[in-house]
Amino acid sequence: MMHTYLRFENQRWSFCTINETLSVPGEHWGSPLDPEWIAVNPIIRRLPAAAAAGPMPAVAAPASVWASARALALALMLALALSVVAPAVRAEAKTLDSVVAELGSAAKPVAAATDAAGNVYVLNEGDATVSKFMPGGGLVRIFASLGASARPQGMTIDPKGYLFVACAGTDSVTRISPTGTAVAYWAYDGAGSMPRGITSDRVGNVFVSNWGTSTITRISATGAVLPVFARLDPADRPLGLTTDAAGSVYVAETQTNRVSKVLAPGAVQEAFAELPKGAGAPSGPLAVAVDPWGALSVVTSSGSVSRFAADGSLLAASVPLPPGSHRPTGVLLDAWGDAFVGDEFAPGVTVLDAAGSGAASLAAFGSGTIVRAVALSGSGLLAADYVSGSVHRIELAPTLATPPLAATVRRGVPTALDVQTTGLTPKLIVSVGVLPPGLTLDETTGRLSGSPTVLGTYAFDVVAANHWGVTAPQHEVLVVR
């Protein structure tokens, strides 16, 4: 029988398929210090065959190979959105949240984009500027100015680092160079076009949705402008749009409750994905995003997030969100298919895990906030409040939030100790070494519990991992008396 495993070779992890006839959960081939084939616990040890065909990030092995074998196995499974977890609603995620800048209440941030170096650019509608946040924490408050009449609505970035801004006030697109030089009217979309949404594909073509004329403008990677690349139904009123790996464009149509698909030559499939009809059904698509496998996430003004398969068929009319009122403003997907959703009513960002473990609220924004500008950089999420101009950074990689346990426990007495973590869930908390007999570590919650049965001193390490990172091992010592 063929199975897929992780292989460690030349300081790198890779997927391997082998013919296995006998297997015991938890076994491994080779020394834990120099492993070749590694099979971890029975939940995560065997990867679905589809994993071998999917993209896998290159991950350097930490010093503790056996610890990272188990931790990275889950991290890579999550990276491919192949974990099977019972759906649930997680009201709050424990993440490290810090305010990194105050742009001021006049800024009104509406969009954000990240370049290859990890710089984040925030588009400010209120004062028609772009701010630049650098990975080391530096801020250029006015990186570029667009002009008072621009009324900027959306922004994207191409592979060369050029920013493109949809300016509804001038029916045009402004291009901003990597050094901050703005060129107004880089593309003119036509009188009354009112460009609202903008995106780019992986080769550098830029696509603009024109609310006023229900058309799509294309700016090619060479700079050629086609004002009417695609003509939609006049009733559509397009807003958010995105592209897939093949160069097709998906457009959220606010007034007709559907998503259109525009093929690379410009041919339009008007009703590619349609929201369900009827009382209480979601309505008013505002934004759309496509994951690495072609599935669509669509957010609506009625307060829902809908999911569609790659062929446009409906997967979920309304994905469960955390308790409370919601009015999504946009959706951003990471490389693993997790969705980050800004909101007008909920004070923060909602994250929807691709593995199906439910929704959680991120960022400690107060009441009365509106989050429209959201971007990922490194292992962090940046989110800006439209009302106050406050910008938060949320750390998504795990940390071990408690000091070493260093506890003495009694033989035969029920014990419960907690290893607390931060970071985006789901994550795995694993122990490396020898636990006291009778105690087990819940790898999901971090609770070490049971009744110790054997006297002695026990040393082990604890590691936490998700697909954003792996912690350094934390050494633990428990004494059983």
Residue 70 shares a structural domain with residue 171: no
28-31: strand order across its sheet? 12-19, 2-9, 34-38, 28-31
Tell me which amino acid residue 332 is.
L
pTM as predicted: 0.81
Does 89 fall in a domain?
no
pLDDT, tens digit only, all 481 positions of the chain: 334 344 434 433 344 443 333 333 333 322 222 233 233 222 222 233 333 334 333 333 333 333 444 444 444 443 333 233 323 334 445 678 899 999 999 999 999 999 999 999 999 999 999 999 999 999 999 999 999 999 999 999 999 999 999 999 999 999 999 999 999 999 999 999 999 999 999 999 999 999 999 999 999 999 999 999 999 999 999 999 999 999 999 999 999 999 999 998 889 999 999 999 999 899 999 999 999 999 999 999 999 999 999 999 999 999 999 999 999 999 999 998 999 999 999 988 999 988 777 788 887 788 899 999 999 999 999 999 999 999 999 999 999 998 999 899 999 999 999 999 999 887 889 888 899 999 999 998 999 999 999 999 999 999 999 888 999 999 999 999 9
Choosing from 79, 112, 140, the residue where a domain stops is: 79
Residue 385 shares a structural domain with residue 424: no
Residue 348 shares a structural domain with residue 225: yes
Q: Tell me the CATH number at 313.
A: 2.130.10.10
What was the pLDDT predicted at 391?
97
What was the pLDDT predicted at 116?
96
Three-class secondary structure of residue 409 per DSSP: strand
Does 336 fall in a domain?
yes
Buried-state track 395-405, b at ≥16 Cβ within 10 A, e below 16:
bbbbbbeeeeb
What separation, in Å, do the N-terminal and C-terminal C-alpha atoms of the chain show? 47
Residue 235 shares a structural domain with residue 328: yes
Question: Which domain covers residue 335, as residue numbers?
Answer: 96-395
What was the pLDDT predicted at 353?
86
Does 90 fall in a domain?
no
Q: Tell me the CATH number at 471.
A: 2.60.40.10
Residue 345 shares a structural domain with residue 361: yes
Residue 49 shares a structural domain with residue 124: no
Residue 298 shares a structural domain with residue 415: no
Q: Count structural domains, the chain.
A: 3
What was the pLDDT predicted at 427?
81
Three-class secondary structure of residue 70 per DSSP: helix
Residue 384 shares a structural domain with residue 412: no
What was the pLDDT predicted at 94?
64
- For 338, phi then psi, to 5°, come to -70, 140
Residue 51 shares a structural domain with residue 156: no
Does 343 fall in a domain?
yes
What was the pLDDT predicted at 412?
96
Choosing from 355, 374, 395, the residue where a domain stops is: 395
Does 145 fall in a domain?
yes
Choosing from 357, 380, 395, the residue where a domain stops is: 395
Three-class secondary structure of residue 284 per DSSP: coil
What was the pLDDT predicted at 375?
98
Residue 443 shares a structural domain with residue 469: yes
Residue 245 shares a structural domain with residue 161: yes
Residue 28 shares a structural domain with residue 123: no
